[in-house]
Structure 1
């Protein structure tokens, strides 16, 4: 029996499990340092597998549709940051500085890959263009997101000047280099990836769960649950839902105004409104190294679940609408 579309998926439930585990059994001291190094290795393996799974042929097929990609990139890296920054006078008093920084951080992240393509396919959108745009968003996001964090968060929001060069170097070594190696070894890796799909999925999800557990263990040790009340969590949930609604409405309106056909409008909507948990969690570990970042990750994890539910409902709606019109 299929899972009802309004219920959390298994991965979301596992994330909640990591939050509970960190709450009652946080890791600390020497064990936390060792676990952090193991997490780095898992992240490098994650991005190696991402590189090996990415089809160059499909990317080339969709890359010529430059107007569509430009609009999606503008939604991802311009519209979202502007919305997050403009709403600061409303969001920060409700949530506090750290949670607001988490909301702002998710606004600076690239799009998802797998779910953007999956929802575009269900809704009968332009799948090759979705694959190209979402993949490029993730690759370029390894560099654009740290740059935007330096502009919107590191200097202006926190008043701190962290080493952008150090963060960029860590991004290259831990994320980009493994990704490129995966691309170079793709032909040799495809049979393995096909044969051991479940194991690859475990690595994908396991590395993210490790970062979540490590981050929230540090946050619990710093007293996170004394800082966040039930009402604050409700405000955060409403903030994430409102942010997604505003972005989707503007993206939908803009894609119509630019004269894109329905298939391209669907692609722009799903690729331009999504924010990646898979890349966002590892990047947060690097960009906010040396400071508790559990609170910064919390908005992203809530937004992740909200976007999956919303896009699932919309994808089915578009699929029925387009099937009826053909």
Structure 2
């Protein structure tokens, strides 16, 4: 039963949504919290750069078939599925939530969980580290470009400012630049960061919780729970699970030509979507009132992917039974 317990971090995120629903923050306090969130985001990506070994990036180019396939699933197959899914959902869900289904398909893969599940299934862990790192580095640039190309003002509902070059530059300035500076600082800070991995992990999670709380506060003030009742929420969960199941089947059977270890890496790195990267990017790319609706599908998918991967990883690791 432990495999089916909600992830503690996701539980805290749910509590943040509940808190924002009951006590939404607004006005000057909301602006102060936004500034604090931006500071934590820059801090988070700086230390992501510090902690990422350079050889993980190098390995991404030595197995180009595997990593090319993972990137194609992450930034091509997923967005194509997201376009169709969000169009289908627009008939039943509020515009911002339907657009959130598209947004979740545009963000990069996870890092920690995809590598952890690859290891649990006895896949190619070194390739998993390289794939996750490459996906997140590429996502800082590719995700804003995909959002700009696929999510115009009409896609995210009334009052949208749209997404363009300025927003992309903002993401690069607040995410990629601190990441690169952090990576260049590895020779001085890598050991210090490794010794404080738990503390830095708390900082990462705190940034995301703050983003979710402020985003849902704005969404609540805009009437998200009036627009999204239980039937709509059930439809959203069903569509998220449909996407998750379809992508897992495609990756598993599509990776049949890989060696078994690489096939498992392809499965767990190709199907995961990162809330840790998606939440900061959404806060930078969209107006505050839109972020809560846009993140809701990603939060649902994130929890579902953890439950499914936790269920199948040990089963795939088991040796095949003799007939």
Alignment of structure 1 residues 222-261 onto 2, 5 Å: 222-256=222-256, 259-261=257-259
SS of equivalent to 2:269: helix
Matched with 2:214 is 214
Structure 1: gaps (5+ residues): none
**Distance of 2:87 and 2:167 partners within structure 1:** 29
Matched with 1:196 is 196
Matched with 2:142 is 144
**Distance of 2:104 and 2:20 partners within structure 1:** 22
**Distance of 1:282 and 1:311 partners within structure 2:** 24
Matched with 1:169 is 169
Matched with 1:108 is 106
Structure 2: gaps (5+ residues): none
Aligned with 2:290 (options 289, 292, 300): 292
Residue 7 to residue 50, structure 1, CA distance change in 2 (3 Å)? same
Residue 313 to residue 321, structure 1, CA distance change in 2 (3 Å)? farther
**Distance of 1:88 and 1:294 partners within structure 2:** 16
**Distance of 1:246 and 1:266 partners within structure 2:** 16
Matched with 2:303 is 305
Matched with 1:33 is 31
Contact kept in structure 1, 2:51 and 2:194, CA below 8 Å:
no
Contact kept in structure 1, 2:86 and 2:101, CA below 8 Å:
no
Q: Which moved more, 1:279-288 or 1:259-268?
A: 259-268
Residue 94 to residue 267, structure 1, CA distance change in 2 (3 Å)? same
Q: Does 1:82 align with 2:80?
A: yes
Matched with 2:125 is 127
Matched with 2:49 is 51
**Distance of 1:162 and 1:25 partners within structure 2:** 28
Residue-by-residue CA offset, 1:112-157 (whole Å, 9 max, x unaligned): 1111111111111111111111111100111111111112112562
Matched with 2:91 is 93
Contact kept in structure 1, 2:56 and 2:126, CA below 8 Å:
yes
Contact kept in structure 2, 1:59 and 1:128, CA below 8 Å:
no
Q: Which moved more, 1:96-105 or 1:279-288?
A: 96-105
**Distance of 2:225 and 2:161 partners within structure 1:** 28
Residue 171 to residue 88, structure 1, CA distance change in 2 (3 Å)? closer
Cα deviation for residue 62 of structure 1 reads 4.7
**Which segments of structure 1 move beyond 6 Å, counting only runs of 4 or more?**
none
TM-score by length of 2: 0.94
Residue 205 to residue 321, structure 1, CA distance change in 2 (3 Å)? same
**Distance of 1:203 and 1:193 partners within structure 2:** 12
**Distance of 1:175 and 1:186 partners within structure 2:** 17
Cα deviation for residue 63 of structure 1 reads 2.9
SS of equivalent to 1:154: coil
